[in-house]
Structure 1
Amino acid sequence: MRGSHLSRTRTLAAVLTLAVSGAVALAGCGQKQQTVGSAPPPKKPDAFEQRADQIVRDWPQVSPVHGRQQALLPLVGADRPKDTGAREITVTVGHSACDVHFGARSHESKGLVVVTGWGKRKSAKGMCTENLATDKVKIQLKGPLAGRKVVDAATGKQLLKG
Protein backbone atom coordinates (compact mmCIF):
# COMPACT_ATOMS: atom_id res chain seq x y z
CA MET A 1 0.00 0.00 0.00
CA ARG A 2 2.83 2.32 0.84
CA GLY A 3 4.34 1.91 -2.70
CA SER A 4 1.12 3.00 -4.46
CA HIS A 5 0.84 6.06 -2.19
CA LEU A 6 4.42 7.03 -3.12
CA SER A 7 3.66 6.52 -6.83
CA ARG A 8 0.58 8.80 -6.67
CA THR A 9 2.63 11.46 -4.85
CA ARG A 10 5.32 11.38 -7.57
CA THR A 11 2.70 11.56 -10.33
CA LEU A 12 0.97 14.50 -8.61
CA ALA A 13 4.32 16.28 -8.18
CA ALA A 14 5.14 15.79 -11.90
CA VAL A 15 1.73 17.15 -12.98
CA LEU A 16 2.07 20.18 -10.71
CA THR A 17 5.58 20.89 -12.06
CA LEU A 18 4.28 20.84 -15.65
CA ALA A 19 1.28 23.00 -14.76
CA VAL A 20 3.49 25.65 -13.17
CA SER A 21 5.77 25.74 -16.23
CA GLY A 22 2.81 26.56 -18.53
CA ALA A 23 3.54 23.70 -20.92
CA VAL A 24 0.80 21.32 -19.84
CA ALA A 25 -1.20 19.48 -22.48
CA LEU A 26 -4.86 19.09 -21.60
CA ALA A 27 -6.99 16.24 -22.85
CA GLY A 28 -10.70 15.57 -22.32
CA CYS A 29 -12.93 12.63 -23.07
CA GLY A 30 -13.01 12.22 -26.83
CA GLN A 31 -11.49 15.66 -27.48
CA LYS A 32 -8.31 16.58 -29.30
CA GLN A 33 -5.21 17.35 -27.28
CA GLN A 34 -4.62 21.06 -26.76
CA THR A 35 -1.45 22.84 -25.63
CA VAL A 36 -2.00 25.63 -23.13
CA GLY A 37 0.24 28.66 -22.74
CA SER A 38 1.65 28.96 -26.27
CA ALA A 39 1.68 32.26 -28.20
CA PRO A 40 -0.33 32.64 -31.42
CA PRO A 41 1.66 32.32 -34.65
CA PRO A 42 3.01 35.64 -36.02
CA LYS A 43 0.92 37.40 -38.69
CA LYS A 44 2.33 36.87 -42.18
CA PRO A 45 2.92 40.16 -44.07
CA ASP A 46 0.56 40.68 -47.01
CA ALA A 47 1.66 41.41 -50.61
CA PHE A 48 1.79 45.18 -50.06
CA GLU A 49 3.79 44.97 -46.82
CA GLN A 50 6.29 42.61 -48.48
CA ARG A 51 6.61 44.91 -51.50
CA ALA A 52 6.98 48.04 -49.34
CA ASP A 53 9.72 46.40 -47.26
CA GLN A 54 11.51 45.45 -50.49
CA ILE A 55 11.29 49.02 -51.84
CA VAL A 56 12.62 50.53 -48.60
CA ARG A 57 15.48 47.98 -48.55
CA ASP A 58 16.44 48.32 -52.26
CA TRP A 59 15.69 52.03 -52.91
CA PRO A 60 16.40 53.49 -55.45
CA GLN A 61 17.10 50.27 -57.42
CA VAL A 62 13.45 49.14 -57.68
CA SER A 63 11.73 47.39 -60.60
CA PRO A 64 7.98 47.44 -61.26
CA VAL A 65 5.73 44.57 -60.15
CA HIS A 66 4.86 42.16 -62.96
CA GLY A 67 1.17 41.72 -63.70
CA ARG A 68 -1.73 43.47 -62.03
CA GLN A 69 -2.68 42.62 -58.46
CA GLN A 70 -5.78 43.92 -56.68
CA ALA A 71 -3.63 44.67 -53.58
CA LEU A 72 -1.01 46.62 -55.59
CA LEU A 73 -2.82 48.85 -58.07
CA PRO A 74 -0.60 51.49 -59.70
CA LEU A 75 -1.34 55.10 -58.83
CA VAL A 76 -2.05 57.67 -61.51
CA GLY A 77 -0.44 60.43 -59.46
CA ALA A 78 -0.14 62.26 -56.16
CA ASP A 79 -1.05 65.84 -55.25
CA ARG A 80 1.74 67.91 -53.72
CA PRO A 81 0.80 68.90 -50.15
CA LYS A 82 0.90 72.59 -49.23
CA ASP A 83 3.86 72.13 -46.85
CA THR A 84 6.38 69.49 -45.74
CA GLY A 85 4.71 69.25 -42.32
CA ALA A 86 1.61 67.73 -43.91
CA ARG A 87 0.39 64.47 -42.40
CA GLU A 88 -1.92 63.68 -45.28
CA ILE A 89 -1.36 63.10 -48.98
CA THR A 90 -3.89 62.71 -51.77
CA VAL A 91 -3.26 60.10 -54.46
CA THR A 92 -5.19 59.20 -57.59
CA VAL A 93 -6.01 55.51 -57.69
CA GLY A 94 -6.56 53.80 -61.03
CA HIS A 95 -8.95 50.91 -60.46
CA SER A 96 -11.38 48.74 -62.38
CA ALA A 97 -14.83 50.14 -63.10
CA CYS A 98 -16.07 46.86 -61.58
CA ASP A 99 -14.41 47.41 -58.19
CA VAL A 100 -17.08 47.80 -55.51
CA HIS A 101 -14.49 49.07 -53.02
CA PHE A 102 -11.17 50.78 -53.62
CA GLY A 103 -8.68 52.86 -51.72
CA ALA A 104 -5.03 53.48 -50.97
CA ARG A 105 -2.63 52.61 -48.18
CA SER A 106 0.88 53.53 -47.13
CA HIS A 107 4.02 52.19 -45.48
CA GLU A 108 6.32 54.75 -43.89
CA SER A 109 10.07 54.67 -43.31
CA LYS A 110 12.62 57.34 -42.44
CA GLY A 111 13.18 58.40 -46.06
CA LEU A 112 10.19 56.99 -47.98
CA VAL A 113 6.43 56.81 -47.97
CA VAL A 114 5.47 53.80 -50.10
CA VAL A 115 1.87 54.00 -51.35
CA THR A 116 -0.41 51.75 -53.35
CA GLY A 117 -3.97 51.56 -54.56
CA TRP A 118 -6.20 48.56 -53.92
CA GLY A 119 -9.54 47.35 -55.20
CA LYS A 120 -12.14 44.69 -54.47
CA ARG A 121 -14.20 43.46 -57.38
CA LYS A 122 -17.82 42.48 -57.54
CA SER A 123 -18.54 38.78 -57.68
CA ALA A 124 -17.27 36.95 -60.76
CA LYS A 125 -20.86 36.54 -61.99
CA GLY A 126 -21.98 38.76 -64.79
CA MET A 127 -20.07 40.89 -67.26
CA CYS A 128 -17.50 43.52 -66.42
CA THR A 129 -15.93 46.07 -68.71
CA GLU A 130 -12.19 46.64 -68.66
CA ASN A 131 -12.64 50.39 -68.24
CA LEU A 132 -10.23 52.19 -65.95
CA ALA A 133 -11.76 54.44 -63.31
CA THR A 134 -9.72 56.99 -61.35
CA ASP A 135 -10.54 58.47 -57.99
CA LYS A 136 -8.68 60.67 -55.50
CA VAL A 137 -8.06 59.09 -52.10
CA LYS A 138 -6.55 60.73 -49.00
CA ILE A 139 -3.93 58.82 -47.00
CA GLN A 140 -3.25 59.76 -43.38
CA LEU A 141 0.45 59.59 -42.46
CA LYS A 142 1.80 58.63 -39.04
CA GLY A 143 4.37 61.43 -39.24
CA PRO A 144 4.91 64.59 -41.31
CA LEU A 145 5.99 64.13 -44.93
CA ALA A 146 9.08 66.23 -44.06
CA GLY A 147 11.13 65.70 -47.23
CA ARG A 148 10.43 61.98 -47.61
CA LYS A 149 9.94 60.66 -51.13
CA VAL A 150 6.52 59.23 -52.06
CA VAL A 151 6.94 56.02 -54.09
CA ASP A 152 4.32 53.98 -55.97
CA ALA A 153 4.56 50.34 -54.77
CA ALA A 154 3.34 48.87 -58.09
CA THR A 155 5.67 50.77 -60.43
CA GLY A 156 8.54 51.58 -58.04
CA LYS A 157 8.51 55.16 -59.35
CA GLN A 158 8.82 58.27 -57.24
CA LEU A 159 5.56 60.24 -57.35
CA LEU A 160 6.78 63.31 -55.44
CA LYS A 161 9.27 64.53 -52.90
CA GLY A 162 7.85 66.10 -49.73
Structure 2
Amino acid sequence: MRGIPHSRTRTLTAALALAVSGAVALSGCGKPQQKVGSAPPPKKPDAFEQRADQIVRDWPKISPVHGRQQALLPLVKAQPPKDGGKAREITVTVGHSPCDAHFGARSHESKGLVVVTGWGKRKSSKGMCTEMLATDKVTIRLKDALGDRKVVDAATGKQLLKG
Protein backbone atom coordinates (compact mmCIF):
# COMPACT_ATOMS: atom_id res chain seq x y z
CA MET A 1 0.00 0.00 0.00
CA ARG A 2 2.59 2.49 -1.04
CA GLY A 3 1.34 5.94 -1.60
CA ILE A 4 -1.46 5.68 0.97
CA PRO A 5 -0.76 7.50 4.21
CA HIS A 6 -0.29 5.27 7.29
CA SER A 7 -3.41 6.45 9.12
CA ARG A 8 -5.54 5.80 6.08
CA THR A 9 -4.20 2.19 5.88
CA ARG A 10 -5.29 1.61 9.49
CA THR A 11 -8.73 2.99 8.76
CA LEU A 12 -9.11 0.84 5.63
CA THR A 13 -7.95 -2.28 7.51
CA ALA A 14 -10.33 -1.58 10.42
CA ALA A 15 -13.24 -0.96 8.04
CA LEU A 16 -12.49 -4.19 6.16
CA ALA A 17 -12.33 -6.15 9.42
CA LEU A 18 -15.64 -4.69 10.60
CA ALA A 19 -17.27 -5.48 7.28
CA VAL A 20 -16.15 -9.12 7.40
CA SER A 21 -17.15 -9.60 11.04
CA GLY A 22 -20.46 -7.86 10.42
CA ALA A 23 -21.17 -10.20 7.51
CA VAL A 24 -20.40 -13.17 9.70
CA ALA A 25 -22.47 -11.85 12.59
CA LEU A 26 -25.41 -11.03 10.35
CA SER A 27 -25.39 -14.25 8.37
CA GLY A 28 -27.28 -16.14 11.08
CA CYS A 29 -29.89 -13.47 11.84
CA GLY A 30 -33.49 -14.61 11.79
CA LYS A 31 -32.68 -18.33 11.50
CA PRO A 32 -33.54 -20.76 14.29
CA GLN A 33 -30.60 -22.24 16.11
CA GLN A 34 -29.66 -25.69 14.89
CA LYS A 35 -28.06 -28.41 16.95
CA VAL A 36 -25.42 -30.42 15.19
CA GLY A 37 -24.42 -33.78 16.51
CA SER A 38 -22.98 -37.05 15.40
CA ALA A 39 -25.11 -39.93 14.10
CA PRO A 40 -26.43 -42.28 16.77
CA PRO A 41 -24.29 -45.36 17.34
CA PRO A 42 -25.32 -48.37 15.25
CA LYS A 43 -27.88 -50.62 16.91
CA LYS A 44 -26.27 -53.71 18.40
CA PRO A 45 -27.88 -56.91 17.07
CA ASP A 46 -29.93 -58.69 19.73
CA ALA A 47 -29.63 -62.39 20.61
CA PHE A 48 -32.10 -63.47 17.92
CA GLU A 49 -30.45 -61.44 15.14
CA GLN A 50 -27.02 -62.81 16.10
CA ARG A 51 -28.36 -66.38 16.15
CA ALA A 52 -30.21 -65.94 12.83
CA ASP A 53 -27.05 -64.62 11.16
CA GLN A 54 -25.13 -67.64 12.50
CA ILE A 55 -27.77 -70.07 11.17
CA VAL A 56 -27.80 -68.47 7.71
CA ARG A 57 -23.99 -68.53 7.63
CA ASP A 58 -23.53 -72.12 8.92
CA TRP A 59 -26.64 -73.87 7.54
CA PRO A 60 -27.19 -76.89 7.72
CA LYS A 61 -24.58 -77.54 10.46
CA ILE A 62 -26.47 -75.99 13.39
CA SER A 63 -26.46 -76.96 17.08
CA PRO A 64 -29.30 -76.05 19.46
CA VAL A 65 -28.97 -73.09 21.82
CA HIS A 66 -28.13 -74.15 25.38
CA GLY A 67 -30.42 -72.94 28.14
CA ARG A 68 -33.66 -71.05 27.77
CA GLN A 69 -33.65 -67.43 26.65
CA GLN A 70 -36.75 -65.23 26.54
CA ALA A 71 -35.66 -63.90 23.12
CA LEU A 72 -35.14 -67.42 21.69
CA LEU A 73 -38.05 -69.60 22.74
CA PRO A 74 -38.26 -72.89 20.81
CA LEU A 75 -41.20 -73.37 18.50
CA VAL A 76 -43.39 -76.45 18.90
CA LYS A 77 -44.30 -76.61 15.20
CA ALA A 78 -45.08 -74.64 12.05
CA GLN A 79 -48.12 -75.14 9.86
CA PRO A 80 -47.62 -75.50 6.12
CA PRO A 81 -49.09 -72.40 4.46
CA LYS A 82 -52.29 -72.89 2.44
CA ASP A 83 -50.91 -70.90 -0.49
CA GLY A 84 -47.67 -72.91 -0.59
CA GLY A 85 -44.67 -70.99 -1.91
CA LYS A 86 -46.79 -67.93 -2.67
CA ALA A 87 -47.58 -67.44 1.03
CA ARG A 88 -46.36 -64.32 2.78
CA GLU A 89 -47.44 -65.56 6.21
CA ILE A 90 -46.56 -68.61 8.25
CA THR A 91 -48.21 -69.79 11.46
CA VAL A 92 -46.04 -71.21 14.21
CA THR A 93 -46.85 -72.63 17.64
CA VAL A 94 -44.85 -70.86 20.35
CA GLY A 95 -44.05 -72.66 23.59
CA HIS A 96 -43.89 -70.07 26.38
CA SER A 97 -44.40 -69.70 30.10
CA PRO A 98 -47.89 -69.17 31.51
CA CYS A 99 -46.29 -66.26 33.42
CA ASP A 100 -45.42 -64.39 30.23
CA ALA A 101 -47.37 -61.14 29.99
CA HIS A 102 -46.59 -60.93 26.29
CA PHE A 103 -45.33 -63.48 23.77
CA GLY A 104 -44.98 -63.76 20.05
CA ALA A 105 -42.74 -64.85 17.20
CA ARG A 106 -40.40 -63.11 14.79
CA SER A 107 -38.43 -63.94 11.68
CA HIS A 108 -35.20 -63.23 9.83
CA GLU A 109 -35.27 -63.78 6.07
CA SER A 110 -32.44 -64.70 3.74
CA LYS A 111 -32.29 -66.02 0.19
CA GLY A 112 -32.57 -69.68 1.23
CA LEU A 113 -33.93 -69.61 4.79
CA VAL A 114 -36.55 -68.07 7.03
CA VAL A 115 -35.25 -68.27 10.60
CA VAL A 116 -38.05 -68.02 13.18
CA THR A 117 -38.20 -67.89 16.95
CA GLY A 118 -40.65 -67.39 19.76
CA TRP A 119 -40.20 -64.74 22.43
CA GLY A 120 -41.77 -64.01 25.79
CA LYS A 121 -41.79 -61.25 28.37
CA ARG A 122 -42.52 -62.13 31.99
CA LYS A 123 -45.27 -60.37 33.97
CA SER A 124 -43.22 -59.79 37.09
CA SER A 125 -40.27 -61.34 38.85
CA LYS A 126 -42.24 -61.36 42.10
CA GLY A 127 -44.30 -64.35 43.10
CA MET A 128 -44.28 -67.95 41.97
CA CYS A 129 -44.60 -69.21 38.46
CA THR A 130 -45.27 -72.76 37.36
CA GLU A 131 -42.87 -74.53 35.06
CA MET A 132 -45.72 -75.60 32.78
CA LEU A 133 -45.51 -74.99 29.04
CA ALA A 134 -48.23 -72.92 27.42
CA THR A 135 -48.58 -73.03 23.64
CA ASP A 136 -50.22 -70.55 21.31
CA LYS A 137 -50.36 -70.09 17.54
CA VAL A 138 -48.78 -66.93 16.18
CA THR A 139 -48.79 -65.72 12.57
CA ILE A 140 -45.57 -64.24 11.21
CA ARG A 141 -45.79 -61.85 8.24
CA LEU A 142 -42.93 -62.29 5.75
CA LYS A 143 -41.37 -59.52 3.66
CA ASP A 144 -41.23 -61.81 0.62
CA ALA A 145 -43.19 -64.88 -0.44
CA LEU A 146 -41.95 -68.09 1.22
CA GLY A 147 -41.07 -69.65 -2.13
CA ASP A 148 -38.84 -72.70 -1.75
CA ARG A 149 -37.04 -71.38 1.35
CA LYS A 150 -36.70 -73.59 4.42
CA VAL A 151 -38.19 -72.45 7.75
CA VAL A 152 -35.75 -73.05 10.62
CA ASP A 153 -36.29 -72.74 14.39
CA ALA A 154 -33.60 -70.44 15.82
CA ALA A 155 -33.57 -72.11 19.26
CA THR A 156 -33.22 -75.73 18.12
CA GLY A 157 -31.66 -75.25 14.68
CA LYS A 158 -34.19 -77.72 13.24
CA GLN A 159 -36.00 -77.32 9.95
CA LEU A 160 -39.74 -76.85 10.57
CA LEU A 161 -40.96 -76.46 6.97
CA LYS A 162 -39.75 -76.57 3.43
CA GLY A 163 -41.43 -73.91 1.26
| TM-score of the two chains, using structure 1 as the length reference | 0.78
How high is the sequence identity, in percent, across the aligned residues?
Answer: 81
Output the amino acid matched with 2:54.
Answer: Q
Q: Where do 5+ consecutive residues of structure 2 fail to align?
A: 1-9, 25-34
Shift of residue 122, structure 1, vs aligned partner: 1.2
Q: Please report how far the alpha carbon of residue 55 of structure 1 lies from its aligned counterpart in structure 2 after TM superposition.
A: 0.3
Structure 2 equivalent of residue 63 of structure 1: 63
Partner residue of 2:97?
96
Corresponding residue of 1:135: 136
Deviation readout 1:22-76 (Å, 9 max, x if unpaired): xxxxxxxxxxxxx944211100000000000000000001110010000000000
Residue type at the aligned position of 1:140? R
Match of 1:49 in 2: 49
Superposition deviation, residue 127 in structure 1: 1.1
Tell me, in whole angstroms, the C-alpha distance in 2 between the residues paired with 1:36 and 1:130.
Answer: 51
Q: Rg larger in 1 or in 2?
A: 2
* Cα distance in 2, alignment partners of residues 67 and 136 from structure 1: 23
- Alignment length, in residue pairs? 135
RMSD across aligned C-alpha pairs, in angstroms? 1.8
Counterpart CA distance in 1 for 2:72 and 2:51 is 9
Instruction: Point out 4+ residue stretches in structure 1 off by more than 4 angstroms.
Output: none
Aligned-pair CA distance for 1:141: 0.2
Q: TM-score by structure 2 length?
A: 0.78
Which stretches in structure 1 are left out of the alignment for 5+ residues? 17-34
Counterpart position of 2:118: 117
